[in-house]
């Protein structure tokens, strides 16, 4: 078995959807697996010139690859069927390829109603936190219990470890959210309720020995949506980046708070995730606003241009195999 992993190095919205979509196109994957989170995620994907936003559905469906919502995920039946409809009306075949692990958990209407009253964390109000809480309290509902899911349910062990359909199982693992929102590594309590790092992959039935590449995805600046104060006020450049970079939530439409990239956060999350390949997205946006800055501890480093900044980043990182600075919303 081989598994490649895509994880977020910052606060979500780094462009994991784009990276996953491109890897799915170029690789030989038999499966694409979402390993954490629910419909709190919003992955923006450009496919054959059309824009799609996925929440639950792994990007494998765009290329007819078997796509699994893994046991580490929580899934809302209503939102899932709505999303299937949307993708299918955009010309993507979903039903033949989409599977749900029997032991994934369900987001109920009750969870959504509860989450909609949140004011402290600034959640996406999609019921994510209450669904995970009930899972761990051992009173949750599993996907296998939902009659509407019948024809999509699979046993994850049989699928990955005992599957005569494939000579060799090759999995692309699509992460949601990111290091700064991780339940263990984010700034608690301003976090999501799942494991957003490579650690989250393994509990889905994908052994650590299978992992080949870990793609860490970041942006050349930071964004965050939620209740904590993140953006330093009165900095006009952040308004500009928000406009030019279209930094509004793909799930909730909320304006994302903006900051300069923290190199410390990148280093920490690269290490904790074991990322050997790194993509920095949206380098084109800083070029458009003509500002380049990075936080290094208490210091802010200004740069003259992209090249200067990129050279500096490369020197700071501990020799990853690949570092890509991307300037396109569609490809890396
Ligand atoms: P929850 O995951 O809806 O409980 O939200 C917890 C925190 O994570 C909030 O700050 C959300 O805005 C943030 N969050 C959850 N999912 C995403 C995502 O996919 N992108 C960016 N932020 C997210
Ligand atoms: Mg997103």
Beta-strand ranges (E) seen in the chain are 2-8, 31-34, 43-47, 50-54, 66-69, 74-75, 98-101, 105-106, 153-154, 170-174, 211-219, 221-224, 257-262, 277-281, 293-296, 299-302, 322-325
107-118 pLDDT per residue, tens: 999 999 999 999
Q: Does the pLDDT of residue 233 top 80, yes or no? A: no
Residue closest via CA to ligand 1's atom 5 equals 123
Ligand 1, closest atom to CA 225? 12
Q: What pLDDT band is residue 80 in, cutting at 50, 70 and 90?
A: very high
Residue 295 has pLDDT above 80, yes or no: yes
Cβ atoms of residues 92 and 82 within 8 Å: no
Give helix 263-273 / helix 306-316 axis angle, nearest 10°. 50
Q: How many residues does the chain have?
A: 332
In this prediction, residue 97 carries a pLDDT of 98
Q: What percent of the chain has pLDDT over 70?
A: 100
Q: Is 43 a catalytic residue?
A: yes
> Which whole number is the average pLDDT over 289-295?
97
Mean pLDDT value of segment 22-47? 97
Element (H, E) at 311: helix 306-316
Mean pLDDT, rounded, of the chain: 97
- Residue 232's pLDDT band, with cuts at 50, 70 and 90, is confident
* Mean pLDDT computed over 267-295: 98
In the annotation, is 13 catalytic?
Answer: yes
Q: What is the pairing mode between strands 221-224 and 257-262?
A: antiparallel
Q: Quick one: pLDDT at residue 231?
A: 95
pLDDT at 12 over 80: yes
Query: Could you report the per-residue pLDDT of 193-225, keeping only the tens digit for each?
Result: 999 999 999 999 999 999 999 999 999 999 999
Annotated catalytic residue, options 21, 31, 43, 111:
43
pTM: 0.98
Question: Mean pLDDT across the stretch 149-160?
Answer: 98
Looking at the DSSP bridge assignments, the partners of residue 223 are 258
Cis, peptide link before residue 41, omega less than 30° from 0: no
Q: Which atom of ligand 1 is nearest to the CA of 181?
A: 8
Position 286 scores a pLDDT of 98
For residues 19-27, give the mean pLDDT. 97
> Hey, which of 15, 40, 255 would you mutate to test ligand 1's pocket, going by the most ligand atoms within 8 Å of its Cβ?
40
Asked whether the predicted pLDDT for residue 141 surpasses 80, the reply is yes
pLDDT at position 235, please?
Answer: 84
List pLDDT tens digits, range 122-133.
999 999 999 999
What digits encode the pLDDT tens for the residues 250-273? Answer: 888 999 999 999 999 999 999 999
Q: What is the mean pLDDT of residues 85-111?
A: 98
- Give the residue-averaged pLDDT of 238-250: 96
- CA dist., res. 218 & res. 278, Å (int): 8
Residue with tokens 């870990």: 214
Number of Cβ within a 10 Å radius of residue 258: 22
| pLDDT over 90 percentage in the chain | 96
Banded pLDDT at 319 (limits 50, 70, 90): confident
- CA 121 – ligand 1 centroid, Å: 9
Per-residue confidence (pLDDT) for residue 284, from 0 to 100? 98
**pLDDT-based confidence at residue 307 (cuts at 50, 70, 90):** very high
């Amino acid at each position: 078995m081989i598994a490649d992993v895509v994880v977020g190095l910052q606060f979500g919205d780094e462009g994991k959807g784009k990276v996953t979509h491109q890897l799915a196109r170029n690789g030989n994957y038999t499966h694409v697996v979402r390993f954490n989170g629910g419909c709190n995620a919003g992955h923006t994907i450009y496919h054959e010139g059309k824009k799609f936003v996925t929440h639950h559905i792994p990007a494998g469906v765009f290329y007819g690859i078997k796509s699994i919502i893994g046991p580490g995920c929580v899934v809302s039946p209503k939102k899932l069927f709505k999303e299937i409809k949307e993708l299918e009306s955009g010309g993507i075949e979903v039903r033949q390829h989409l599977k749900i692990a029997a032991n994934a958990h369900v987001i109920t209407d009750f969870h959504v109603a509860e989450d909609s009253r949140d004011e402290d964390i600034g959640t996406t109000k999609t019921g994510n936190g209450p669904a995970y809480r009930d899972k761990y309290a051992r009173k949750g509902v599993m996907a296998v219990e939902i009659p509407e899911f019948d024809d999509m349910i699979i046993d994850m062990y049989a699928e990955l470890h005992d599957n005569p359909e494939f000579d060799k199982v090759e999995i692309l693992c699509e992460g949601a959210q990111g290091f700064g929102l991780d339940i263990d590594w984010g700034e608690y309590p301003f976090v999501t309720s799942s494991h957003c790092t490579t650690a989250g992959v393994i509990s889905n039935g994908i052994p650590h020995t299978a992992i080949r590449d870990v793609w860490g995805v970041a942006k050349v600046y930071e964004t965050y949506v939620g209740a904590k104060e993140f953006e330093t006020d009165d900095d006009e450049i952040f308004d500009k980046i928000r406009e030019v970079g279209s930094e509004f939530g793909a799930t909730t439409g909320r304006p994302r708070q903006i900051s300069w990239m923290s190199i410390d956060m990148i280093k920490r999350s690269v290490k904790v995730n074991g990322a050997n390949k790194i993509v920095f997205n949206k380098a084109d946006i800083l070029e458009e606003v003509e500002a380049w800055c990075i936080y290094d501890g208490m210091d802010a480093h200004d740069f003259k241009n992209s090249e200067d900044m990129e050279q500096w980043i490369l020197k700071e990182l501990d020799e990853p195999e690949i570092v890509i600075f991307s300037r396109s919303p569609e490809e890396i």
